[in-house]
């Protein structure tokens, strides 16, 4: 885990945050809420991650600790390139993670990724048809938003 000084350095320097993204995610396991808050702040600075990060971050999307899984989903949606791998990872999390806020974040992440593969869209449509509206209106909203037509390329600095 990173120290408070290291966390604050990452908040001040997004390039450093990119370089230490996995350590930042691990710091979210801290018992100190303040440490978690600063780690989250540093992660929030990251706009785009290299594709090479998917191997380390992807598995964390299914982490049993929801805070880690939640932020791993957010980071996965910011991975440039390796789109199909990131998409698969988020869809798997959306479908299987036991914590509802993590599933919501996975759906949001898919919504931020731009045009999705038809099989991903079909899987999300199936989830909606299972009546998610009745059990979790926010998750249903996130999925509907992800299902809306998206630009063909991801916006912002993650654009190829």
Partner 1 sequence: MKRKLLYPAAAFLVLSVASYFGCDLASIPRSVPTDDGPRAAASPGEAPAGPSTIPDRTPQTLLIGSFNMQRLGPSKLSKPWVLEKFAHIIRSFDVLALQEITSQDQTTLDQLLRIVNSDGSQYAYTISPRIGRAATGYYEQYAFVYDSQRVVSGPQFAYVVQDQADLLHREPFVGRFQARTDLGQAFSFSLINIHTDPDEIDTELDVLAQVVASVRQFEYPEDDVLLLGDLNSAPGRLGQLDRLPNVVALIQAVPTNTRGSKTLDNVLIDRTTTTEFTGRSGVIDLASWFKISQEEALMISDHLPVWAEFAIVEQPTMTTAAAGSPAIRR
Contacts with partner 1, residue ranges (CB under 8 A): 4, 8, 11-12, 28, 33-34, 36-41, 44, 66-67, 69-71, 74, 99, 101-102, 105, 108, 112, 137-138, 141, 144-145, 148
CA distances from 140 to 87, 117, 133, 134 (A): 18, 19, 5, 9
Minimal distance, residue 138 CB to partner 1, in Å: 5
Q: Are 51 and 82 in contact (CB under 8 A)?
A: yes
At residue 49, the 3 state secondary structure works out as: strand
Instruction: Give the integer Cα–Cα distance in Å for 128 and 35.
Output: 36
Q: How far is the CB of 54 from partner 1 (least distance, A)?
A: 20
8 Å CB contact between 101 and 70: yes
C-beta closer to partner 1: residue 64 or 119: 64
d(CA 106, CA 92): 9
CB of 40 to partner 1, least distance (A): 5
Residue number, 18 or 35, with CB nearest to partner 1: 35
CB of 120 to partner 1, least distance (A): 20
The nearer residue to partner 1, 52 or 154, going by C-beta atoms, is: 154
């Amino acid at each position: 885990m990173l120290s408070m000084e290291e966390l604050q350095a990452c908040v001040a320097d997004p390039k450093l945050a990119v370089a230490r993204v996995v350590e930042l995610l691990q710091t979210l396991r801290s018992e100190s809420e303040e440490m978690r808050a600063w780690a989250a702040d540093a992660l929030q600075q990251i706009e785009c991650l290299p594709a090479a990060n998917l191997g380390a971050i992807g598995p964390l999307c299914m982490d049993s600790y929801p805070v880690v899984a939640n932020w791993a989903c957010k980071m996965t949606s910011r991975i440039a390139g390796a789109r199909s791998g990131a998409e698969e990872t988020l869809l798997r999390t959306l479908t299987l993670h036991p914590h509802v806020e993590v599933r919501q974040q996975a759906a949001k992440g898919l919504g931020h990724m731009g045009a999705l593969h038809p099989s991903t869209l079909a899987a999300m449509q199936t989830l909606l048809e299972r009546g998610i509206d009745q059990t979790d209106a926010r998750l249903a909203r996130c999925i509907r938003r992800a299902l809306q037509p998206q630009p063909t390329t991801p916006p912002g600095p993650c654009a190829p």
